[in-house]
Amino acid sequence: MGRRVLVSCEHGGNRVPRDYAPLFAGAADVLATHRGYDLGALEVARAFGAQLGVEPFIATTTRLVVDLNRSPDNRNLFSAYTRSLSGVQRAAAMAAHYWPYRNAVEAAVADAARVRAPVLHVSAHSFTPELRGEVRNCDIGFLYDPRRRGEVRFIEAWYAALREANPELVLRRNYPYRGVSDALVTHLRRRYGARGYVGMELEINQKHVGSRGWRALVGVLAGTLAAAVAHA
């Protein structure tokens, strides 16, 4: 049985479900920023899926309702806009928005594990160019666990392909975040082990989103991903 490739996008949109609209009154400006969603990540995930011939897992409800990329016990699971929800209301938000997405991605990994097909999972994200006064010196970040050989091999292959395709891009490993921090891929690593699961998060600098070269960059990322998947 060959490898199965999964593409996901946990922060693909800034939609506010009707039930939570009152909590976000006057928050339109915040919702339009990196706090509300990962700008450009949805387009990237769809391009990856088209390139690889897979249907990506996509969430478009704003992360400010409940963050699908955080564990259930993470203190930042709910945002400042939804922390006032009662325990019952939080459980309802989890049941409506969190668990359906998380369970769908995990079910795909579990299905592969049952037939001993290794999984390669790419989670598409983006980051704000500046945070708390710090300018992020990076165009593309590869987040992974450096202790896992399969992830290292895959990242090295993609890094090399992207470097060759566009030498001007600033590429960094485990930046602007640590690849072992709390995330969906981190959970799946622990659950399914290094032999059955290889997972990473791709982080794209939001300064490129909507720029003149944005579509070309998305195309290069998708093409080099395909090359890395074939090499890994």
pLDDT of residue 1: 53
d(CA 132, CA 178): 18
- Domain of residue 93: give its range: 4-231
Domain tally, the chain: 1
> Domain containing 104 — which CATH number?
3.40.630.40
pLDDT digits (tens, 9 = 90+) for 169-224: 999 999 999 999 999 999 999 999 888 999 999 999 999 999 999 999 999 999 99
pLDDT digits (tens, 9 = 90+) for 83-118: 999 999 999 999 999 999 999 999 999 999 999 999
Cβ atoms of 179 and 143 closer than 8 Å: yes
Tell which wins on pLDDT, 186 or 3: 186
Average pLDDT of the segment spanning 15-36: 97
Q: Where are the beta strands (DSSP E) in 16-60?
A: 57-58
Burial class (CB within 10 angstroms; exposed 0-12, middle 13-18, buried 19+) of 226: middle
d(CA 49, CA 126): 17
pLDDT of residue 201: 98
